[in-house]
Structures are given as C-alpha cells and as structure tokens.
A and B are shown apart, each in its own frame.
Chain A
Amino acid sequence: MIPDSTTIRNAAREVVSQLIGRPLKDGQRLVTSGLIDSLSVLKLIGLLEKKLLVKIPPETLQPEDFDNVDLIVETVQRVAIPNP
C-alpha cells in the first residue's frame, strides 16, 4: 500500500534534512536552488524507498520532480509502487 500524503511528507522532510545536514525550511527549493544535485536526488529516492517501503521507478522521473517537499509528495504518490 502507498502511504498517505502526511507520512510521505514527514519522511521527505526527514530524509532531505539528513541529506543537507540541517533542518529543511518550508517551501525550500532543493534542485533548482543547487542545494542538492542529481546524485543526491538518487540518494533521496533510495532513502525514501527504504523508509516508506515502496519502489520508486526513476526511469520516468527528472531531478526537478523532487524540487520541494510538495513535489516529492506528489511524485511519490504518482509513481510509487508498493514493495512486494
């Protein structure tokens, strides 16, 4: 089952804060501001998959799909598939 948006949001905030090494501000741009690069986006995907127990197939994704927490929630809800 795909987690609800609040769970995804909380997981995203935690994982991003872990990646950037400080708490995430509301509405903060991640990729377009240069705060994280495309490799960090791949790390972010891996960490979210572990935390939410889902699979996020990256082949139809672009780094800017993870540009802020709202977009991360939207992207995960759109493409994630539950782990078998």
Chain B
Amino acid sequence: MTFNSVPYLVFLAIAVALFWLLPPRFRRVFVLLTSLAFYASWGLLFVWLPLLVASIVYVIGRQITSDSARQKRWMWLGITCVLVLLIFFKYRVFLLDNLSVLGISVSAHTLSLATRIAFPLGTSFYTFEAIAYLVDLRQGRVKLPSFLDLCLFFFFWPNILSGPLVRARELMPQLTFQKDFEPRFCFEGMDRLVWGLVQKNVIANLLGIWVDKGFAPNAPGIPSTIDGWFLAVAFGLQIYFDFAAYTNMAIGAARLLGVTLPENFRQPYHGATPPEFWSRWHMTLSRWVRDYLFFPLNAKWAGAPFPLYVSLIGVMALVGLWHGAGWGYILWGTLHGAYLVIYRIYESWKTAWPSLASSAMASGLWRLLTLVAVIAAWVPFRAATLHKAAEILSAMFYRFGSGRAYGSTFYVFTAAITVFCAIEPWLMGKLTKLEVQAGAEGPSPFRILVRPIAYSFGLLLFLLFYEHNAQFIYSQF
C-alpha cells in the first residue's frame, strides 16, 4: 500500500477511527498490529527483518545496560550486526558488481542469485534508527523498554518506510498513546495528508513524466542547454515535492493518532549557503549524520581543518551511498561534500577579511551559487548512468546548444512550480496569518468552512491525477 493510494486512505481512516474508539490500554497493541499489517502489505516475508533488527537492539541493549565495563564493545557489536544486514540487503549487488575493480571475478550465477533477493522497504531508515538507539543507550540518553515497545518503535507505520528518521527519545514517550482525542489532531493531520497527496500526485508525478524521459539511458544524445537546465530543475522540484509529500503524509498520519513526528523540510531551495541547504533538506537525516557520524569524528581532531575537510567529503559520500547503491549517488554526495568544504574555506577567509561577512554582493552570490550547485548535483543522482549525467551537465555548462525537445507544457509547468517554490514561504506566512486572524484556536469559519472545502478540492485533485502504483522516490532508498 503506497501512501498515495485509495486502499491506504481506507486503511488509514479505519485504523484512526478504531484507534480513538479503543480504550488507551489497548492502543499500543493495536498500533503494532496495524503497523505489522501495513508493512506486510509490501511483502509478508520481509516482516522478519525489522523484527530481527528490534531483537538485535533488545538483546545487545540488555548487555549495554547490564555490563557497564564493556558497554562500548556491546554497542559496536550491535552496530556491526545492523550494518551487516543493511549491507547485505542493499549493497550486495553493487559490491559484487564492483569486485572486478579489485581483480576478483564473480560468476554470473552468483550475481544472478544476488539480484533475486528483493530489497525490503525502509531498511535504510530503521537500521539508522537502530544505530542511533544503541549509541543513545550507551550514552544513557534512553532506557531499554520492553520488546513490545521496541517493536512498536521500529514498526510504527507512519514512518517505517521513508522516515522521518526519529530518535527513540522523541518518539517512544509518545507511543504510550495516553492522550485524549482533540479536534486539532484531525485538522493538523488532514492538512498535512491532503497537501501531501496533492504534492505527490499533481506536482511530483507530472514532473516525473518528463524527467523519466529526459534522464532515460536511451534519451537521444546531448540535450540543448535550455533542456539540460529545465530537466535538472524539474528533477530538483520532483524529488523535493515527492519526498516532502511522503513526509507530510507520514507526519499527517502520525498526527491523526496524536503523535508528533519531526519535520524534514524547511523550503530547502531557499538555503543561502550549502550548510544552510542541509539544515533545510532531509533535516532528520542531516541531524543523524551530525550527531552520530560527523560530530564524533571531528571531536577526535577538535575540528582541525584538514581532517574536517576530509571528513566532510567522506561523510557526504556516505550520505550519497546511503541513498542508493550506485556511483551516481556517491558522486552526488561527494559533490555536496566539496560544496561544504569550499564554504568552510570561504568562512575562514571571512575571519581574515571582515568586509566579506557584511557584503550583500557576496551573500547574494552565495545564494545563487548554492542553488546552481544543488541543481547541478541532482543530475548524477537521477541519471541512469554517469555517461548520461556527463551529457546533461556538459549541455548545462559548456556545450551550449539551442532547441527544445519537449512540448511547451513542460517548460511552463516547471517554471510555474519554480515560482511557487520561490513564493512558498510568503504564501505559508499569509496562510498562517489568515488562520490566526480567523481565530485558529476556536471553531472559526476557517475551520468549519474553508478547511473541508480545501480538503475536498485536494482529494478531488488527488483522484483526478490518480496513478495506480505510483511509488515514492525515497521508498527505493
């Protein structure tokens, strides 16, 4: 069941209604069962994997809490077990494919066997949550709960497939489900859910039609400069709206149960510098990387420049690899690492030349450079091959050519969505102000009239643009 499907919406409506009808003491078991049913709808056989991850965390967690002399060793054992599972399920084909670089040949039979094992959805997300849990447990930030509560944490259906990546300390206290029903849970949940459906079905899926065509390995030759730029921008918008849609629907579903999940996006293309982009894009992954990888690594060297630059590039290359087993993803991550290094070097210049810090021209230039660099980096991320990526990037930056290979709808739609992104903060500000003026806390006309009309319109758009089996991009990661 994908989030943007009618069966899921029916499942959600029934699950939420039963959840609030049940006495609080039965809700935990009920949510665990519905979560298992939701995950099993993707493949019954794979339910054992998150179960295994939860078991590893539980068994190792017991050792961490009881054997204080060897806490660190137990933590590393747990992390290794979880990583082995992730590597086996996500990277085995990529690793076997690339063994030839080391002069090791793999038989076609082994490779075909390896490709036959499917990739269980959400593995990258719940394994990262498991690693965070083990570290937090060792650092004394969380307590080890019962096995049932731990399973509930890993299986919680709103965020099991593609996040947001939650910390146990922010989600587990909420999974007791002791709250009484409040109408705001409905409004807040529905706002996110309906907007997510529109973002996915109307914006992301439409952009995807042209993006799929332009980035396909068999797309004819080098595109014109305008097509190269439009394709890169269209994919940047597609992936943003696709993932933001998923996140909105995850946050919305959790909100309907009275649970608050952390935000993942804050208008990322408004980031004025590379670090600011990462503080607005996939915020829960950025936070994970910062807390469990980047900070501990750099703490060893107290932030000295050379190790810092190496770790920035290395960590971002790993972030790329986390997204998918392919060189395009690694290149995307490495490029972002390089952008962060360049910005750090610039920051060190700012100390020497304070005039740079107050220069409006410098900050404007950084805003533009950041946007161009982020868009350019999406090309290897999306292109089917590195060769295709090189063709599109060359068209964008130095092999200037004219001509348009798509109908005018593509250019107009992409430009319109770009303008929407540009004014999104202003629009959201206006909407919030309007709601506050209308009396957001009480039964205002805004709530009684405007919201149901907006929801109906959103659902109508969702159904009009309904596409059977349209997957979210991040569900592959």
User: In this assembly, does A42 line the interface, its C-beta being within 8 Å of a C-beta of chain B?
Assistant: yes
Determine whether the beta carbon of B291 is less than 8 Å from that of A59. Answer: no
- Given contact pairs A34-B279, A46-B302, A63-B290, A41 touches B139 in the complex (Cβ within 8 A): no
Bound Cα distance from A38 to B344, whole angstroms: 13
User: In this assembly, does B457 line the interface, its C-beta being within 8 Å of a C-beta of chain A?
Assistant: no
Chain B 263-276, CB-CB to A under 8 Å as 1, else 0, gives: 00000000000011
- Given contact pairs A37-B275, A39-B308, A62 touches B303 in the complex (Cβ within 8 A): no
Nearest B-chain residue to A40, judged by Cβ: B303
A59 to chain B, nearest CB (A): 6
Task: Chain A residues near B141: list those with CB within 8 A.
Answer: 62
Instruction: List CB contacts (< 8 Å) of A28-58 with chain B.
Output: 34, 37-39, 41-43, 45-46, 58
Determine whether the beta carbon of B308 is less than 8 Å from that of A61. Answer: no
**A-B CB contacts (within 8 Å), total count:** 41
Bound Cα distance from A14 to B85, whole angstroms: 47
B261 to chain A, nearest CB (A): 16
Determine whether the beta carbon of A59 is less than 8 Å from that of B296. Answer: yes
Task: Chain A residues near B298: list those with CB within 8 A.
Answer: 38-39, 42
Please tell me which one of the listed residues B279, B295, B308 contacts residue A41 in the complex, with CB atoms under 8 A apart.
Answer: B295
User: In this assembly, does A6 line the interface, its C-beta being within 8 Å of a C-beta of chain B?
Assistant: no
Determine whether the beta carbon of B303 is less than 8 Å from that of A59. Answer: no
Bound Cα distance from A39 to B344, whole angstroms: 10
Bound Cα distance from A39 to B309, whole angstroms: 12
Bound Cα distance from A62 to B275, whole angstroms: 18
Nearest A-chain residue to B304, judged by Cβ: A42
Bound Cα distance from A47 to B140, whole angstroms: 26
User: In this assembly, does B294 line the interface, its C-beta being within 8 Å of a C-beta of chain A?
Assistant: yes
Bound Cα distance from A46 to B389, whole angstroms: 43
User: In this assembly, does B299 line the interface, its C-beta being within 8 Å of a C-beta of chain A?
Assistant: yes
Task: Chain B residues near A60: list those with CB within 8 A.
Answer: 138-140
B residues contacting the other copy or chain, number (CB 8 A): 18
A58 to chain B, nearest CB (A): 4
**Chain B binding site: helix, strand, loop or mixed by DSSP?**
helix
**Chain A binding site: helix, strand, loop or mixed by DSSP?**
helix
- Given contact pairs A37-B275, A38-B290, A39-B308, A63 touches B295 in the complex (Cβ within 8 A): yes
Task: Chain A residues near B139: list those with CB within 8 A.
Answer: 60-62
- Given contact pairs A37-B275, A60-B139, A42 touches B303 in the complex (Cβ within 8 A): yes
Please tell me which one of the listed residues A34, A43, A62 contacts residue B295 in the complex, with CB atoms under 8 A apart.
Answer: A62
Task: Chain B residues near A63: list those with CB within 8 A.
Answer: 290-291, 295
Instruction: List CB contacts (< 8 Å) of B118-174 with chain A.
Output: 138-141
Determine whether the beta carbon of B299 is less than 8 Å from that of A62. Answer: no
B37 to chain A, nearest CB (A): 35
- Given contact pairs A38-B290, A38-B294, A61 touches B275 in the complex (Cβ within 8 A): no
Nearest B-chain residue to A46, judged by Cβ: B302
Bound Cα distance from A64 to B276, whole angstroms: 18
Task: Chain B residues near A34: list those with CB within 8 A.
Answer: 276, 279
A53 to chain B, nearest CB (A): 17
Bound Cα distance from A61 to B276, whole angstroms: 23
Nearest A-chain residue to B140, judged by Cβ: A60
Beyond A61-B295, A62-B141: 6 further Cβ-contacts under 8 Å? A58-B296, A60-B138, A60-B140, A62-B295, A63-B290, A63-B295
A sample of 28 inter-chain contacts (CB < 8 A) reads: A37-B275, A38-B290, A38-B294, A38-B295, A38-B298, A39-B298, A39-B303, A41-B295, A42-B299, A42-B302, A42-B303, A43-B303, A45-B302, A46-B302, A46-B303, A58-B296, A59-B296, A59-B299, A60-B138, A60-B140, A61-B139, A61-B295, A62-B139, A62-B141, A62-B295, A63-B290, A63-B291, A63-B295
